[in-house]
A and B are shown apart, each in its own frame.
Chain A
Amino acid sequence: MSDRYFEPDAETMPRDQLDELQEEKLLGDLLPWAYKRSPLVRATWDAAGVSIDDVTSMDDFREKAPFVDKDAIRRFRDTSNDRYGGLLCVDPLRAGGPFTAVFSTSGTTGDPTLVPSVTSGPSILTREFWEMGCRPGDYFVEMLFTYRGPGIHHTIRGIGATPVFVDHSPFEFPNVYRLSRELRPTGWYTMSTPLILALEQMAPAMGIDPRDMFASYKGVIYAGEPLGARARALLDEWGVNFFVHTGVADVGAATECREHDGCHIWEDIAFVEVLDPDGTDPVADGERGELVGTTLVDKIAPLVRYRSDDLVRVTRERCACGRTHARMWPVGRKSDEIVVDGVSVLPGDVWPAIESVAETEAALFQVIRPARELDRLRLRVGFASEGPHGLADVRDRVIDAVEACVGLVPDVELVPNEVLLRQGPPHKIPRVTKQ
């Protein structure tokens, strides 16, 4: 057996066995557990008039199980005076046991919701760290925030590597440069677009040669907003072998393998569906739809048929790497979509156009979205300089590029890049705003 896989049996399990395993875990274990203990699951199912006795097959589950979403969790939290939104399946007052920490979601779409957590042991990301080529005895840079807990430390140690802790901030680059040259780490979790653009700007003044800094890394995990062409080009120029990493409906994460042909969803820990964003029917394999996730392993705060608001494409065709699990391509967020003259537009659709204009190539922009259906496409776009012929000329070129890209003539408001950068956490700015 090749040493490419960390858990070969699980990662290359034949499709029919994977389907059986999902059924066994969901119907035999997770669902009865959650139905009995989760106040949100029970209330949602009662309201839908569905009982667990009605669900004896995966087809029953697909047909009858009601959905929850982030708003339903917040609503339950606020109306039932339950800080965990009805998700918690263990007694919060009992000390000890696996429920050792309370983390929170990023909070970029509103107030953060609580994530009751288990903090011991590695996560399933060991599979991707191994796939990148990291091995026991290696150093591994963890450049991250703290609010999701110490899971990544444990995961790095889970493959026998040693974490090197740094902050997810551009001001850390001089430290990372030094640590990279001294320790020759092979893995990095995570890189984001603001860090890439900041590195390009700050490297000369900081005395950093990015190619030299990244030379020892077999893999760098990229997370955050979709990777634009410009940031991608910089990573290529620096010789970075990066792996796109994205969340899976809050029930897991998906990461590219070395084939770089979609992000693998680990289906032995999550059951995922891709449904019509405005309905409940599944879309065909590879078509755009809303990602709906059900955990197969989280016994602390399980999500059951959680509508993620994420628009994705998913295929279950076997990957060239030999893994049998589904692959996914993120497209955007359902709540970010606007419809102008019947044309659906997501921030990712105008991104390449804005990047193609030199003065706005950082692609710091926002879609103005007071409602889903609009008469005009309105954009707020950040600029780095006024260009050779002034801002009116920059605006005209942005308008032309966007029209060529999505077929709509936008209204464009230009603002300095710094104004937009102040609007969000350092790893992402809000791409959609009400005004």
Chain B
Amino acid sequence: MSSTVRMPPPDVWGVGRVAVGGEMIPWPVSHADVDDETDSHVATMRRLGVGEGDVVVICSLLSEAIHVFPLEQAANAVGARYSSTDATEFDAFRTAAMVSQVSPVAVIGVNRDVVTGLRGAGRDLREVFGPVKVVVAADEDAREALEGAGLAPRRWLKLGPVSGFECAERDGVHVDGSRVRVMTTEDGGLLVTTTVPRLTPCVDLATGLHGEVIERPCACGSTDPRIRMVPAPG
């Protein structure tokens, strides 16, 4: 067929990124990685109350695809559908529109830009997200703004190439103990290691985040470790 001899397609699903501090590390993941993360996030969907016949809105950026695509597939795996919006000021109107049009049980990924966009459009956060059972914030600014509006937001924390979510107890971000190990440095810096085979190895990756790791079971019944966020020292 082709006159040029081509390399066979690599086993790379895509090249995403992991942010460490302000730095971007290109992060290739394989098909197997994506499927394994999907399996892991089936528990996330249950934790967020997403089940058969539900719709979940996922608000994100394309650069977060390696974290987000497994969530989309996990939503489908529990029999739910998902809807996508951009986590930007300009697209904040869409997150609000989707909440009123598809009546999601959960909105994942509200960040500071979405909060700014909604406020800029004169929208009240409580009015926009009030009808949604579970709202998940992607950063601390958004979490505080949602809490200030009388809502009970949960955290979504990206830890290197993986991510975790708070349960209804809102007492620490659950991480999947069967796939991920989180350690702390002396000053509380979070180091993440993936303990299952992955295309791009992740060993004691300094996430630039600070927190404490809680090993005792959560009131929700989960025995997975949890991470409580603390501000960075200094």
- Chains A and B come from one and the same complex: yes
Pair B97/A175 contact, Cβ less than 8 Å: no
Docked Cα-Cα span, A149 to B81, in Å, equals: 12
Pair B90/A135 contact, Cβ less than 8 Å: no
| Residue of chain A at shortest CB distance from B51 | A95
Docked Cα-Cα span, A174 to B227, in Å, equals: 32
Q: A150-B72, A153-B65, A167-B61 are in contact. Are A101 and B14 (CB under 8 A)?
A: no
Q: A107-B94, A161-B9 are in contact. Are A3 and B2 (CB under 8 A)?
A: yes
**Interface membership of B194, Cβ < 8 A:** no
| Residue of chain A at shortest CB distance from B69 | A150
In the bound complex, residues from chain A placing their C-beta under 8 Å from that of B8 are 136-137, 160
**Interface membership of B203, Cβ < 8 A:** no
Please give the distance in Å from B46's CB to the nearest CB on chain A: 15
Please give the distance in Å from A96's CB to the nearest CB on chain B: 6
A168 is contacted by which of B13, B17, B62, B101 (Cβ under 8 Å)?
Answer: B62
Pair A104/B83 contact, Cβ less than 8 Å: yes
Please give the distance in Å from B118's CB to the nearest CB on chain A: 15
| Residue of chain B at shortest CB distance from A175 | B24
B81 is contacted by which of A99, A160, A165 (Cβ under 8 Å)?
Answer: A99
- Tier of interface size on chain B: 35 or more
**Interface membership of B60, Cβ < 8 A:** yes
A107 is contacted by which of B7, B26, B65, B93 (Cβ under 8 Å)?
Answer: B93
B14 is contacted by which of A99, A102, A162, A425 (Cβ under 8 Å)?
Answer: A162
Interface of A is mostly: loop
Q: Which of A378-413 contact B (CB under 8 A)?
A: none
Q: A83-B101, A119-B72, A153-B14 are in contact. Are A101 and B62 (CB under 8 A)?
A: no
In the bound complex, residues from chain A placing their C-beta under 8 Å from that of B84 are 101, 103, 146-149
Pair B94/A147 contact, Cβ less than 8 Å: yes
Give the interface centre of A3, A100, A178 by most chain B CB atoms within 10 Å.
Answer: A100
Pair B9/A103 contact, Cβ less than 8 Å: no
Q: Which of A113-165 contact B (CB under 8 A)?
A: 114, 119, 135-137, 139, 142-150, 153, 157, 160-165
| Residue of chain A at shortest CB distance from B64 | A165
**Interface membership of B32, Cβ < 8 A:** no
Interface of B is mostly: mixed
Please give the distance in Å from B59's CB to the nearest CB on chain A: 8
Pair A83/B7 contact, Cβ less than 8 Å: no
Pair B26/A182 contact, Cβ less than 8 Å: yes
In the bound complex, residues from chain A placing their C-beta under 8 Å from that of B80 are 95
Please give the distance in Å from A4's CB to the nearest CB on chain B: 10
In the bound complex, residues from chain B placing their C-beta under 8 Å from that of A167 are 61-63
**Interface membership of A179, Cβ < 8 A:** yes
In the bound complex, residues from chain B placing their C-beta under 8 Å from that of A145 are 62, 86, 91
In the bound complex, residues from chain A placing their C-beta under 8 Å from that of B94 are 104, 107, 112, 147
Docked Cα-Cα span, A216 to B15, in Å, equals: 17
Pair B90/A426 contact, Cβ less than 8 Å: yes
Pair B102/A83 contact, Cβ less than 8 Å: yes
Q: A102-B102, A136-B8 are in contact. Are A164 and B15 (CB under 8 A)?
A: yes
Please give the distance in Å from A165's CB to the nearest CB on chain B: 4
Docked Cα-Cα span, A424 to B98, in Å, equals: 19
Pair A165/B102 contact, Cβ less than 8 Å: no
Pair A135/B26 contact, Cβ less than 8 Å: no
Q: A104-B83, A153-B14 are in contact. Are A162 and B69 (CB under 8 A)?
A: no
A114 is contacted by which of B64, B65, B90, B101 (Cβ under 8 Å)?
Answer: B101
Docked Cα-Cα span, A183 to B10, in Å, equals: 13
Q: A145-B62, A146-B62, A179-B15 are in contact. Are A100 and B76 (CB under 8 A)?
A: yes
In the bound complex, residues from chain B placing their C-beta under 8 Å from that of A112 are 94, 97-98, 101
B82 is contacted by which of A101, A104, A426 (Cβ under 8 Å)?
Answer: A101
In the bound complex, residues from chain B placing their C-beta under 8 Å from that of A107 are 93-94, 97
**Interface membership of A297, Cβ < 8 A:** no
Docked Cα-Cα span, A83 to B83, in Å, equals: 14
Docked Cα-Cα span, A145 to B7, in Å, equals: 30
Q: Produce 1/0 per residue, A285-323, CB < 8 A to B.
A: 000000000000000000000000000000000000000
Docked Cα-Cα span, A179 to B27, in Å, equals: 11
Please give the distance in Å from A116's CB to the nearest CB on chain B: 8
Q: A179-B26, A424-B90 are in contact. Are A93 and B14 (CB under 8 A)?
A: no
**Interface membership of B142, Cβ < 8 A:** no
In the bound complex, residues from chain A placing their C-beta under 8 Å from that of B64 are 165
| Residue of chain B at shortest CB distance from A106 | B94
Pair B15/A95 contact, Cβ less than 8 Å: no
Please give the distance in Å from B134's CB to the nearest CB on chain A: 18
**Interface membership of B216, Cβ < 8 A:** no
B residues touching A (Cβ–Cβ < 8 Å)? Answer: 1-4, 6-10, 12-17, 24, 26, 28, 52-53, 55, 58, 60-66, 68-69, 72, 76, 79-86, 88, 90-91, 93-94, 97-98, 101-102
A residues touching B (Cβ–Cβ < 8 Å)? Answer: 1, 3, 83, 93, 95-96, 99-104, 107, 111-112, 114, 119, 135-137, 139, 142-150, 153, 157, 160-169, 172, 175, 178-179, 182-183, 424-426
User: What are 5 sample pairs from A and B whose C-beta atoms fall under 8 A apart?
Assistant: A95-B53, A112-B101, A150-B65, A161-B9, A165-B65
